[in-house]
Amino acid sequence: MFKNKEENLAAQEATNSSNIIGKGTIVEGNIETFGNIRIEGRVNGSVKSKSKIALGQSSFVEGNILAQNAEISGEVKGVVEVSDQLILRPSAVIKGDIVTNKLIVESGATFNGGCKMGISQKDIKIGDNGHTKPFEAKKPTTPETKTN
């Protein structure tokens, strides 16, 4: 009983923390945090946060993004899953699928991939490697023409 309370308290304290990966820094491997994280450098791996992920203009992430909220100004090659709100700033480049509840795309931002919105996401679990698998965009259907 006490252990669970201690774990919850530690998780709450960690949620209030902020992490920064500076410009020129390269991280090889996955990052998981309860708190906010700002990335200005390069990450070769997935980034997961129970709070907010902010990617600066100089950032590059080759891996999946999973967060409650995210603001992207850099480049991502991978699936971006945001349970609440995703903001793509003018310099954002996304090469992969997007799954989010709310999406704000500012003029100049680009993404190549599928997009699912309004989907209720499960609670983000730190230590869980279960990202949603990328989905394939449905091919556009052409209306059948009747010939007489």
DSSP state of 24: T
Asked whether the beta carbons of 37 and 49 are under 8 A apart, the reply is: yes
- Tell me, yes or no, whether 146 lies in a domain: no
98-132 pLDDT, tens digit per residue, is 999 999 999 999 999 999 988 665 656 666 554 44
- Tell me, yes or no, whether 32 lies in a domain: yes
- Tell me, yes or no, whether 111 lies in a domain: yes
- Tell me, yes or no, whether 140 lies in a domain: no
- Tell me, yes or no, whether 136 lies in a domain: no
| pLDDT grade for 139, boundaries at 50, 70 and 90 | very low
What is the pLDDT at residue 68? 94
What is the pLDDT at residue 15? 57
Residue type at 63 in one-letter notation: G
Structure tokens at 82: 């945001």
Q: How many domains does the chain have?
A: 1
* Sequence-distant (≥ 6) Cβ neighbours of residue 126 within 8 angstroms: 32, 33, 34, 48, 50
- Tell me, yes or no, whether 135 lies in a domain: no
What is the pLDDT at residue 105? 96
- Tell me, yes or no, whether 132 lies in a domain: no
| Cα angle: 24, vertex 51, 85; to 5 degrees | 100
22-75 pLDDT, tens digit per residue, is 999 999 999 999 999 999 999 999 999 999 999 999 999 999 999 999 999 999
What is the pLDDT at residue 16? 67
Cα 25 to Cα 14, 61, 134, 137, 147, distances in angstroms: 23, 12, 28, 34, 63
Q: Which domain holds residue 74?
A: 2-117
* Average pLDDT value over all residues in the chain: 82
